[in-house]
Amino acid sequence: MSLAPPPVAARKPHSATHHGVTLTDDWAWIRDPGYPEVTDADVLDYLKAENVYFEAAMTPHAALVESLFQEMKGRIKEDDSSPPLKDGDWLYWSAFKEGTQYRLWYRKPVAGGDDQLIFDENAGAEGKEYFRLGAFAVSPDGAKLATLVDDDGSERFKLVVRDLVSGKDIETVTSVGIGQPVWTSDSAGLVFTEVNDQWRSYRARYHRIGADPAAAVTLYDETADIAFSVGVGRTTDDRFILISTGNNSSNEVRFVPADNPYAPLTLIRPRTPDVQYEVDSAHGSLWILTNDDHVNFRIASADPARPADWSTVVAGSDRTYLRGIATHRDHQLITSRVDGLDQLVLRDYATGIEQRVPFAEASYSAGFSGNPDYAPEAYRLHYSSMVTPGTAYDYHPADDRLEVLKVQEIPSGYDPALYVTDRLMIAARDGKMVPVSVLRRRDSKLDGSGKLFVYAYGAYGYAIPPSFSTSRLSLVDRGVAFAIAHIRGGDDLGYQWFLDGKLKSRTNTFNDFVDVTRGLIDAGYAKAGQVAAQGGSAGGELMGAVINQAPDLYGAVVADVPFVDVLSTMLDDTLPLTPGEWTEWGNPIEDREAFELIRSYSPYDNVTAQAYPPLLITGGLHDPRVTYWEPAKWAARLRATKTDDNLLLLKINMGAGHGGKSGRWNALHEVAEAYAFVLTQLGR
């Protein structure tokens, strides 16, 4: 039975003029004028028609989707739990029970006693299409729990306080919370942040338990810059509550005593363009990680009484990229990256001697994991590589020893000897060498006869780690090598690597991906047309730009919640994704040069009459990050413009947001759908 013709979105002429240039957009109507409420009948009918077409196109492959899903599910331990982590007088952990979609959260006294179930996500998700626990914070006295929950994907979270003695919820503090709430030292109240109608985290407030939530005191309100968002935190020594405000390139931090939230806020150092800093506290000093005098950051100290006077403790380095610091009683935990590989370092306060946590593999992903106690006996960390399952360790600095606490269990079995990981450096067109991590079967041949899957993100300084994934084994076991392209726009090779993929250098990101693909083809991983590609959000923008530039290289492309209508979005300062993003993409409203650059690569604006590879595009109706109309408009324009008859599918999650469906099995089923699409298209 042949597939019915795809939906055809109506064309309704629309134009706007900027910098003397008239932009036309026949599908602008797909944006409901009442957004974030989407009630327009024509819009909903079109989105539903696309979903019906998606289901019809995937129905013949239902057996493959189910096989992939069961395969991937079989690699996940259903009744799994995390290693307990000490926080004060309690040990905390989470667990999944067999057959459940969501976590259960437990604790028990360090001194001994029964396990206590303190939060059941499954109960909270019952009857809901979507459920996400965004934050989980127990009060210092252990008596109360604060949670933030999103039940529609809009990322506007309800902040609820639970009495852990009775097990009952006692207060709803706000319905538009976001981020991690912070308890005061006396457990009497919470500092939290809220979003406004444009989904900007704009203020920090203090609520005292038992008081009217509407009377919460505003500690800080960001009114000076609509591009700045507010966040709160707490220093490791529990001395201060921190309130930060910033965008993607600069920020400033204030602090208030954790035992007196009503005290005046102290500003550490005023915001400066392109300067970032983060702060912790220990031994009566502030410890600051900042890029104020070196692109790869330095570590400084300051007296809280003179917080703007910074003294260098660890100088910036061209080779070592300093990425994070947490200050505990006995050591500073420093996260860095050298030559693209994670380094975990313990630094002694008195001597400055640094102790690096040892790892044996040549390529891996590692990081410190929480460590809420100020003075732990050992430090919790996580580790994996593309061939090594995730492992939780406690590192004992006294004897330089890694204690294995838990190794990711794969119930259906896993033999690492069957796989090999390659680390390549591939030249981009401007001569820069781009790192690539590849997972493949050991018995695969690099003679061009195989298939290849290339994944990347390439924005905001986020590096895709070469870590372990059980899902991708379903591709690799079917002869598809899985590659991660560590392209510019991420910070894989240092902060400059990020800077070299943003603003005026944005096209480096797209060129890197295309050049990596060609390099892998030249290395024998696959032939042109036998390569699949995937990216999401800004990585979805990457997919759009790549297929405009070099569509012949790819036999299947998956673009998840793709940020493809870049120009229109950056021209609309009422959208949540816009003012705070100008430092990443440029401000085309005020800057003609930025306007022309974005117009030159914006995927939606550069769809042309050419053949495109098979495409699977996804979106979420409630997505506040990449609004649903971006993927929907892109699909409509592609259908009306492309010259091929390759399959193009659009799937809009009508009850979810940026991350797709919630629940571990629902999310896994969407991965199975994407992989089935790739396999069937590469196998044509």
Q: Looking at the annotation, which residues are catalytic?
A: 537, 623, 658
Predicted pLDDT of residue 188? 97
Structure tokens at 420: 């090999």
Query: CA–CA separation, 109 vs 115, rounded Å?
Result: 8
Structure tokens at 25: 């957009």
Predicted pLDDT of residue 660? 73
Domain with CATH 3.40.50.1820 in the chain: 9-74+556-579+587-684, 413-527
Cross-strand bridge partners of residue 207: 190
**CA 606 vs CA 23, 162, 564: distances in Å:** 12, 51, 10
**Full-model pTM:** 0.94
Predicted pLDDT of residue 293? 96
Architecture of the domain defined by 413-527: 3-Layer(aba) Sandwich (3.40)
Architecture of the domain defined by 134-275: 7 Propeller (2.130)
Per CATH, the number for 9-74+556-579+587-684 is 3.40.50.1820
Decide if 567 contacts 556 (C-beta within 8 A): no
Q: What is the mean pLDDT of each run of 10 residues along the chain (684 residues)?
A: 88 97 97 93 97 97 97 95 94 94 95 95 92 94 96 91 96 96 97 91 96 96 93 97 96 98 97 97 98 98 98 97 97 95 96 93 92 95 97 95 96 97 97 97 96 98 96 97 98 97 98 98 98 98 98 98 97 88 95 98 98 97 91 98 98 83 87 98 86
Decide if 140 contacts 183 (C-beta within 8 A): yes
Three-class secondary structure assignment of 191-215: EEEEECCCCCEEEEEEEECCCCHHH
Decide if 159 contacts 172 (C-beta within 8 A): yes
Location of structure tokens 């040069």: 593
* Beta-strand relationship, 285-290 and 298-303: antiparallel
Predicted pLDDT of residue 112? 93
Decide if 572 contacts 16 (C-beta within 8 A): no
Domain with CATH 2.130.10.120 in the chain: 134-275
Q: What is the dihedral sign for C-alpha 172, 177, 178, 184?
A: negative
